[in-house]
Amino acid sequence: MFERHKGGDAAVLVCLDFNEPDYQDGVDEFVQLVESAGVAPLAVVEGKRARPDPAYFAGSGKVDEIAEVVRAQGAEMVIFNHQLSPAQERNLERRIQCRVLDRTTLILDIFAQRARTAEGKLQVELAQLAHIQTRLIRGWTHLERQKGGIGLRGPGETQLETDRRLIGIRVKRLREQLATAQKQRATQRKARVRRGEFSVSIVGYTNAGKSTLFNALTKAKIYAADQLFATLDTTSRKLFLDAEHSVVVSDTVGFIRNLPHTLVAAFRATLEETIHADLLMHVVDVNHPMREAQIEAVNLVLAEIGAERIPQLMVWNKIDLKDGQPAVEHDEYGKIQAVRVSAMQGQGLDLLRTALVEAMSQPSEDNENT
């Protein structure tokens, strides 16, 4: 199924089917997610269950099967496409005799690799620590000591108490730094509102082509790649639509199914650009077989951050992959509701600019931009 491992991290993947209609697409996406983290998938262990096992998440027989595959493949870790409890993670590690990670830890690791701005790195670390607090990972304290944490350990304290205290101190500091960054962002946003600038946030499922579209429209050079979570940090640029109209466009982190709540919470400061936008450009990979499920996943996260009432313009992207033509779709009242484009080839961008000009003239509800 997979090429032989040639060095670097390698893992056995576990995907259990709980009678989900889009299970196989979820498996394919998980393999891509693992590869995006720089880990080589050696094998996928699958199985059907009615409900998770309280002790191991998978059944006892399935855990034995996983352990056998780990030994046969010489894997260094096992990654579950599910969220595991701390107890399940510990039980599995003891039984399989290798490191076990869950989906949340994997996504956090990808985020840690991709964050570029100071604020993005703060948010990732805060999300990681929130996850660690439930597990109190071994070795956290010695990393703090390497950074000059000598003297933080109190006399008579146990390792667990020290870990908990150090994490608490760091979390408090991170929240203070993020609060400062949030105030700066709010000040910038108020200045834009005073200038009467129309704000547009690009949202969509990860790898739908948001950053490619952002670059094509604004001539920016932010990182864009055919991989999950290529972009984490919000970038804003002024976009001139014609001689009379301009907007501020912001590229944002991509969403994914079963996005951990700790990540949504930690990235709330960045996602505030989305919450306070006048319009959301919802980019969709028009060729993806699960595009409807992806649209639903994005809308669920938008609802979670309080952005569900902001008007959306659908952007059906990657039309070039199926010989599609640029086009505009209207609703029954003649209002533009979707534009078909190829961000990679630059097709349909003129139609998209026209749609944005029209959107600027539409009366909208108060999105609390102040």
Please tell me whether 211 is known to bind a ligand. yes
Please tell me whether 234 is known to bind a ligand. no
Please tell me whether 206 is known to bind a ligand. yes
Measuring CA to CA, which residue among 42, 171, 11, 38 is closest to residue 112?
A: 38
Residues 289, 313: contact at Cβ < 8 Å? Answer: no
**How many whole angstroms separate alpha carbon 214 and alpha carbon 179?**
27
Please tell me whether 208 is known to bind a ligand. yes
Residues 319, 347: contact at Cβ < 8 Å? Answer: yes
Please tell me whether 150 is known to bind a ligand. no
Please tell me whether 17 is known to bind a ligand. no
Please tell me whether 320 is known to bind a ligand. yes
Please tell me whether 47 is known to bind a ligand. no
Residues 80, 14: contact at Cβ < 8 Å? Answer: yes
Please tell me whether 262 is known to bind a ligand. no
Query: Which H, E and C letters describe the chain, residue by residue?
Result: CCCCCCCCCEEEEEEEECCCCCHHHHHHHHHHHHHHCCCEEEEEEEEECCCCECCCECCHHHHHHHHHHHHHHCCCEEEECCCCCHHHHHHHHHHHCCEEECHHHHHHHHHHHHCCCHHHHHHHHHHHHHHHHCCCCCCHHHHHHHCCCCCCCCCCCCHHHHHHHHHHHHHHHHHHHHHHHHHHHHHHHHHHHHCCCEEEEEEEECCCCHHHHHHHHHCCCCCCCCCCCCCCCCEEEEEECCCCCEEEEEECCCECCCCCHHHHHHCHHHHHHHHCCCEEEEEEECCCCCHHHHHHHHHHHHHHCCCCCCCEEEEEECHHHHCCCCEEEECCCCCEEEEECECCCCECHHHHHHHHHHHHHCCCCCCCCC
Please tell me whether 53 is known to bind a ligand. no
Please tell me whether 253 is known to bind a ligand. yes
Please tell me whether 229 is known to bind a ligand. yes
Bridge pairing between strands 77-80 and 99-101:
parallel
Please tell me whether 141 is known to bind a ligand. no
Please tell me whether 204 is known to bind a ligand. yes
Please tell me whether 318 is known to bind a ligand. yes
Please tell me whether 361 is known to bind a ligand. no
152-173 in b/e form (b: 16+ CB < 10 A) is: ebeeeeeeeebbeebbeebbee
Please tell me whether 210 is known to bind a ligand. yes
Q: Mark the binding-site residues for Mg(2+), compressed into ranges.
A: 211, 231
Residue ranges for the binding site for GTP? Answer: 204-211, 229-233, 251-254, 317-320
Residues forming the annotated binding site? 204-211, 229-233, 251-254, 317-320
